Amino acid sequence: MKTEKPEATHTVTPQGRTDPFHTLEQHLLSRRNRWNKRVAAALRALERRDPAFHVADLGRRDTFVTIYMQAREAAVRNHQSAKLDALLAIVVNSAVQPDAEEDLQLLFVHFIDIFTSWHLRVMHMLQALLYPKSAASRRLHAMLEHTLEHIFPELAGKYCFFRHILGDLAARQLIRLDDFLITDDIFKDPLKHILGHMELTDLATRFLRFIHLPEGP
């Protein structure tokens, strides 16, 4: 027997107009449900790959529950796929690394929540240039003679914005950079020269590792 789905309800104001806050709450609920389904699917897949891993055990681990709740609220506040993917990876890594430092995990969730997608793009670019391992990163490494604008044409005319991203990452101890990068020269010089003035910190390396899904056995 076919079951019909209940029709969506709307709160109507005295003037006969749909309450915009009701619509917003429905959208937020939809985001939360999509996030819960993604996490559940990822954890179930992990359970199928690893017989020693049991999803049912996670509810008894306070650290994981805290990380999951923090990541879920951050996921509801964001819509960009890069940030949602990173939050999912944090939850999964928290599940498979019970000894991972709790405060560091919370810091990583906080970073994803407040960062723009450009924060992540810059860090991934640096990681690929400084540690070329994959075919994609080797292709990027071959572009060291090019400028930032050649690789990221979207940055044209957004020098102040990009300098703010760099300054923000440096203030959070994720990259080290010198005064050269505070000027517009960063957009005019080839990448190979820029790399001599910038590096990822150990915190950044751990962060980037934790926002990637663990490889299967």
96 & 123 share domain: no
- Does 42 share its domain with 108? yes
Is 9 inside any structural domain? no
| Of the residues 72, 87, 114, the one at which a domain ends | 114
Range of the domain at 92: 21-114
Domain total in the chain: 2
**Residue 28 falls inside a structural domain:** yes
- Kindly write down the DSSP assignment for every residue of 142-200, as one continuous string: TTTTS-HHHH-GGGTT-HHHHHHHHHHHHHTTSEEE-GGGGSTHHHHS-HHHHGGGEEE
pLDDT along the chain (217 residues), means of 10: 45 58 84 93 93 92 96 94 96 95 97 94 84 61 72 79 88 83 65 77 95 78
Residues 202 and 164 grouped into a single domain: yes
Model pLDDT for residues 186-205, shown as the tens digit of each residue: 667 777 777 777 889 999 99
Reported pTM: 0.81
